[in-house]
């Protein structure tokens, strides 16, 4: 079904637009064709594709109240504490057909509120599952339909059109899943970090000596330190399923400790075999992905943390990255061959201009966040996509076109012409 934009006088409001999730939803929903207004306490900044307004959602100005009254979608990308403070203030200003959406990491408290308070509006929860600075393609998003209607169907369709994968859960199912997906992992990383900090061994020495698994754990810890501690406090303390998850994790650590202290080698081997069986058939692919991750981590090898890394060390790191680039390009071209077989079977045209625009736009935007020049992205993907199309032509046949024939505007910034 084709996504149809709402009438021009209706719009979506996303509160918390300066945060990573709020900003990501502003960008993706505006790209889907919605007129989006991002609201935040932070100073308004120019945004591409959507409007911004500085405002306090707990004490909305008359202008913001006016915008709320004509909104068909209100997304509250806020902490639970702020959301619960703002909700009584906002509800009187909302139209009856406005879809109200929260993005909390824990759904239990909000689900109880919705159950106890009769709201005329449709209400849903979203959990994009990770910080908004990752691209949308392939991102899992949990949808909790508290009080669904057609507006929620439209929202889900728009998110799927941006490449996200949606999974519908109840609030209870969501929180139980998050206890495994977030609580256990975060608590283990935090315990690792405190153990390292308490060891007294200098961090620089540990980084120099550390094998890839240690560095991966350290990277996870460093990533967590970039976010506000309340994010992790809510996950650990606010989820009713978290306590049981931590108890189970602690029990398994105690079990390992008992095996080691009692020289229970046979029991240890049996436990490892049980894990191996549990991972099948995903184990080979997961192990291969881990190897790729280790190769990336190893690029930050001994010498790169200090001041004495010489030219040879830098070249070694570049060589390893080049190897990874070639491996990834080969993987991409192999997938293109599968796409070609699919297009041949369905009589689908090789050239898909809109897909080319989406790929280049997404990669250019991702490059922008990493300080990669747009000109380089365009040149690189012109070569990659052009080669991909020629591979497809070899399989599908028919008259051949070049990218500059069908999408000249996409590559306007470079010397590709």
Mean per-residue pLDDT, 351-375 = 86
pLDDT value of position 46: 57
Say yes or no to pLDDT of 53 above 70. Answer: yes
Euclidean distance between CA atoms 105 and 240, whole angstroms: 12
Residue 44 pLDDT class (50, 70, 90 cuts):
low
Res 304 pLDDT > 60: no
Least confident of 82-86, 108-112, 302-306, 337-341: 302-306
pLDDT at 103 over 80: yes
Number of structural domains found in the chain: 3
Q: What is the pLDDT of residue 322?
A: 86
Q: Is the pLDDT of residue 412 over 70?
A: no
pLDDT tops 80 at residue 377 = yes
Q: Which two tokens stand for residue 131?
A: 């910080």
Q: Are residues 80 and 146 in the same domain?
A: yes
Q: How far apart are CA 345 and CA 342, in angstroms?
A: 5
Instruction: Give the mean model confidence (pLDDT) for residues 19-48.
Output: 85
Task: Give the pLDDT score at 16.
Answer: 92
Residue partners of 252: CB distance under 8 A and separation at least 6? none
Residue 334: CATH number of its domain: 1.20.59.10
For the stretch 308-343, pLDDT in tens is 446 766 787 788 788 888 888 888 888 888 888 888
Residue 290 neighbours by CB distance under 10 Å: 13
Same domain? 125 vs 184: no
Q: Tell whether 190 and 159 lie within a shared domain.
A: no
Tell me whether residue 21 is in a domain: yes
Q: How far is residue 114's CA from residue 95's CA, in Å, rounded to a whole number? A: 17
| Res 10: pLDDT | 67
Looking only at the bridges linking them, the beta strands covering 36-40 and 99-102 are unpaired
Q: Which domain holds residue 138?
A: 11-169
Provide the CATH number for the domain around residue 46.
3.40.50.720
Domain boundary among 169, 191, 221: 169
Residues 96 and 137 occupy one common structural domain: yes
Q: Are residues 50 and 141 located together in one domain of the fold?
A: yes
Mean pLDDT score, 131-158: 91
* Boundary (domain end) residue, out of 148, 169, 190: 169
More confidently predicted of 350 and 153? 153
281-290, 303-312, 353-362 — which is least confidently predicted?
A: 303-312
What pLDDT, on a 0 to 100 scale, did the predictor assign at position 234? 87
What's the CA gap between 241 and 23, in Å, rounded? 29
pLDDT, one tens digit per residue, over 195-221 is: 999 999 999 899 889 999 999 999 999
Q: Which residues contact 416 (CB under 8 A, 6 or more apart)?
A: 378, 379, 382, 404
Can you tell me the distance from the alpha carbon of 411 to that of 415, in angstroms, rounded to the nearest whole number? 8
Residues β-bridged to residue 125: 102, 144
In this model, does residue 414 exceed pLDDT 70? no
Judge whether residue 5 has pLDDT over 50: no
pLDDT single digits (tens) 230-264: 889 989 998 999 999 999 999 999 999 999 999 99
pLDDT at 6: 42
């Amino acid at each position: 079904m084709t996504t149809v934009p709402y009438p021009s006088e209706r719009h979506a409001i996303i509160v918390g637009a300066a945060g990573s999730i709020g900003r990501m939803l502003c960008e993706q929903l505006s790209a889907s064709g919605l007129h989006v207004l991002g609201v935040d306490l932070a100073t308004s900044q120019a945004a591409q594709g959507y409007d911004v307004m500085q405002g306090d959602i707990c004490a909305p100005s008359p202008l913001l109240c006016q915008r709320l009254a004509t909104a068909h979608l209100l997304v509250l990308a806020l902490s639970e504490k702020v959301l619960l403070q703002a909700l009584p203030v906002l509800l009187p200003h909302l139209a009856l057909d406005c879809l109200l959406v929260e993005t909390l990491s824990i759904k239990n408290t909000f689900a109880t509120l919705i159950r106890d308070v009769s709201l005329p509006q449709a209400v849903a929860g979203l959990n994009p599952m990770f910080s908004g600075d990752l691209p949308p393609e392939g991102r899992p998003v949990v949808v909790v339909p508290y009080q669904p209607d057609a507006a929620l169907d439209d929202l889900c369709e728009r998110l799927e059109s941006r490449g996200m994968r949606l999974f519908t859960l109840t609030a209870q199912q969501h929180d139980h899943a998050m206890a495994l997906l977030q609580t256990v992992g975060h608590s283990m990383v935090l315990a690792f970090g405190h153990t390292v900090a308490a060891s007294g061994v200098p961090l620089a020495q540990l980084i120099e000596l550390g094998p890839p698994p240690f560095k991966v754990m350290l990277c996870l810890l460093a990533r967590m330190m970039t976010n506000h501690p309340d994010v992790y406090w809510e996950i650990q303390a606010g989820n009713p399923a978290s306590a049981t998850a931590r108890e189970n994790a602690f029990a398994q650590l105690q079990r390992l400790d008992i095996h080691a202290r009692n020289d229970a080698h046979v029991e240890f081997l049996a436990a490892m075999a049980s894990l191996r069986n549990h991972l099948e058939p995903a184990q080979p692919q997961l192990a291969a992905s881990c190897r790729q991750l280790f190769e990336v981590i190893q690029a930050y090898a001994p010498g790169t943390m200090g001041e004495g890394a010489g030219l040879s060390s830098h070249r070694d790191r570049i060589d390893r990255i080049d190897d990874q680039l070639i491996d990834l390009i080969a993987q991409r071209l192999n997938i293109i061959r599968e796409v070609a077989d699919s297009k041949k079977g369905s009589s689908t045209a090789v050239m898909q201009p809109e897909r080319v625009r989406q790929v280049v736009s997404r990669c250019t935007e991702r490059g922008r966040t990493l300080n990669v020049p747009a000109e380089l992205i365009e040149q690189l993907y012109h070569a990659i996509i052009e080669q991909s199309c020629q591979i497809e032509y070899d399989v599908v046949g028919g008259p051949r076109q070049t990218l500059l024939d069908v999408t000249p505007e996409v590559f306007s910034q470079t010397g590709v012409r």
